[in-house]
Structure 1
Amino acid sequence: MAGGIEANGTFTLATGLGRARVHLGSVIIERSGDVWVRTIEETPEFIEGLRSSFTSAITSVGPGKARQFGTSTRTRKTTGTTRSTSTKKLPRHFPPVGSQPSIEWIHLERLSVDRTYQRSTENEPSRRLIASIAAKFDWRLCAPLVVSRRSDDSLTIIDGQHRWMAASQRDDIPQLPCCIFRYQDLQEEARMFIVANRARRPMNRLDDYFAAVAAADEDALELQQVVTDAGLRIARNTSSTAWQPGEIAFTAAIANSIRRFGPAITSAALTNMAEAFPNQKLSHGGAIFGGLVKIMSHPAPDFDPDRLVTALQSRTADQWGECTTGLKGGDTRAAALHDAIMRAYAEQSMGT
């Protein structure tokens, strides 16, 4: 044992891979001086794996068993076409860096943060995030904190201070799960903090949308229905070079239009795009959609939707997109498309 028994009945064991926290109901397995800690459910499979790993290799093969074990040294004669076999090589990797952590439940008061490199939480976004986590704490979203065990045995949070501060605001969460590492010094801690935060890949808007649809989010499902009813579909890739005709990616603009103007106007703008640009890649779809929403949300008294489709068909989607060349900002591009489309609409009116 590494230390005494905690008030909750848990204690730590020193293993070859670091310290392991033992909870009530855990199973401790020891073999040849090596120690493991597993849950009751994991134990049978783990022990079976140990048996397999310690099984002695077969060094002698009796008569008639060579082919069974694949160790025959006889050369087989083959006729006809010979087949060459190649062994698939595994990719080469650098050895792992550092030692494996211990996974422990740590009481909140034993944890701290080092302000010399840790992010400040004295700002409104951090305060809102901490309050939100505390108000609706969900263990399913609480990944273990990354913690440094220093030479004086103090525990410093590398990653997870918002979860820690949120749990500290409650009186029903006395401890949190932690991955505990030993670092050489504060400089290495700070480097690991930088790596942990820079390595995160934020969700893009399309990942967020598809995850929300899978979670049956009402807003996402409504957006999906509006787009599908218009004859379009949401692209899976944010890169326009990978889009197929009829695919769009401006989910934020569609959601904003539904909130401001309702599904009817949003659907009408999307339907006009589907009708005007069949079999065309909609690389500039966001700007075109923005211009159409501006038109349809404030139509003239004698506005003719059919004439609008004809006006849109006077150019390709890419040609309409050229109207936004050099312009920045969604509203600026949408305004430019609004003006260009209305000029074409007026020309159609004069032609009739």
Structure 2
Amino acid sequence: MQIATLVVDPSYQRPICGRGRSNVDRIAREFNWRFFAPVVVSPVEGGKFAIIDGQHRTTAAALVGFETVPCQVVIADHEEQAAAFKAINGDTTPMSRMALHAAGVIANEPRAVEIAKVCACAEVELLRYPVPVDKQKAGQTMAVGAIVRCHQHYGADTLITALQCVTQTANNEPGMLSARMIKALCEVLKNRPEWRE
């Protein structure tokens, strides 16, 4: 459909600002039709179509210079449009950082691949989904977010050594690779670089 025929109903749609604006910018920068789900729209007055789902994708496509986007048309009155918007955007299962990281590794995303290499060097297994501590094995962790932040803040060498402080010692017990432990070890090693030798 022509982007010019698509409209946003402000009575139930949110404006694009803050995080939404950043999301549009990211989609435009990394634009790829393979990642573009059809926009869900419904006919409204004046030959236009209200966007129920896909406002950010559509805006990004327009920024890149496209004049049309693939759409799925549903027949719905105003209340049903709002209900569909709520169901599509509000009733979703959020993705965990663990699942997103695992998908990033398979997709060969540079940051995810680098984190996977760091963990492999330290004999750490990043879990792909939550596992209770009593069911984890030594060297496993759910602390993907902490590992990513420590990699950014302290660098690969410090992070590998911090992880090895657990995996290559008698401390290698299930649950020991918590976010708190990883961050604390990185901070100590940053302040005592001679301990990294």
- Which category describes the TM-score, using the shorter chain as reference length? 0.7 to 0.9
Superposition pairs of residues 1-352 of structure 1, within 5 angstroms: 106-121=1-16, 123-150=17-44, 153-171=47-65, 173-183=66-76, 185-241=77-133, 242-274=135-167, 275-278=169-172, 280-282=173-175, 285-299=178-192
Identity of aligned pairs, percent?
A: 27
Q: 1:149 and 1:304 mapped to 2: Cα distance? A: 64
SS at structure 1 position matched to 2:69: strand
How big is the shift at 1:283?
A: 5.5
What amino acid is the match of 2:36? C
Q: Structure 1, unaligned stretches of length 5 or more?
A: 1-105, 306-352
The 8 Å contact of residues 130 and 163 in structure 1, kept in 2 or not, is answered as: yes
Q: Find the aligned partners of 1:150 and 1:182 in 2 and give their Cα distance.
A: 9
* Distance in 2, Cα, partners of 1:207 & 1:261: 24
SS class of match (1:176): coil
Closer/same/farther in 2, CA of residues 148 and 292 from structure 1, 3 Å limit: same
Using the TM superposition, give the Cα deviation of residue 186 of structure 1 relative to its aligned residue in structure 2, in angstroms: 1.0
The offset of 1:152, in angstroms, is 6.0
> Measured at CA, do residues 170 and 211 of structure 1 come closer, stay the same or move farther in structure 2, by a change above 3 Å?
closer
Select between 130-139 and 210-219 the one with higher mean Cα deviation.
Answer: 130-139
Counterpart residue type for residue 110 of structure 2? E
- Shift, 1:163, TM fit: 1.7
AA partner of residue 189 (structure 2): M
One-letter amino acid of the counterpart of residue 281, structure 1: P
Contact 1:232 1:247 in 2 (8 A): yes
Query: Residue 268 of structure 1 aligns to which amino acid in structure 2?
Result: T
Separation in 2, partners of 1:129, 1:239: 30
Give CA deviations for 1:233-255 in whole Å, capped at 9, x if unaligned: 11222233442222112122222
- Which structure features the higher share of helix residues? 2
SS of alignment partner, residue 4 of structure 2: helix
| Number of equivalent positions | 195
Higher RCO (CA-CA < 8 Å; seq separation 6+)? 2
Matched residues in 2 for 1:304 and 1:149: separation? Answer: 64
CA distance in 1, matches of 2:75, 2:196: 71
In the aligned structure 2, how far is the partner of 1:219 from the partner of 1:141? 19
Following TM superposition, by how much is the alpha carbon of 1:153 offset from its aligned partner in structure 2, in angstroms? 4.7
Check 1:110–1:281 CA distance in 2 against 1; reply closer, same or farther (3 A cut).
Answer: same
Structure 2 letter corresponding to 1:238: P
Seen in structure 2, the aligned counterparts of structure 1 residues 299 and 176 have a Cα distance that, compared at 3 Å, is: same
> What is the TM-score when the length of structure 2 is the normalising length?
0.87
Counterparts of 1:233 and 1:253 in 2: how far apart (Å)? 14
Structure with larger Rg: 1
For normalisation by structure 1, the TM-score amounts to 0.51
Between the aligned partners of 1:111 and 1:219, the Cα distance in structure 2 is: 36
Contact map agreement 1:146 1:178 (CA 8 A) in 2:
yes
Structure 2 segments unaligned to the other structure (5+ residues): none
Task: Answer yes or no: is the 8 Å Cα contact 2:143–2:177 preserved in 1.
Answer: no
Question: What SS does the corresponding residue of 1:189 show, helix, strand or coil?
Answer: helix
Look up the SS of the partner of 1:179 in the other structure.
strand
CA distance in 2: counterparts of 1:259 and 1:202, whole angstroms:
24
CA distance, structure 1, for counterparts of residue 196 and residue 50 of structure 2: 66
For 1:151 and 1:304, how far apart are their aligned partners in 2? 68
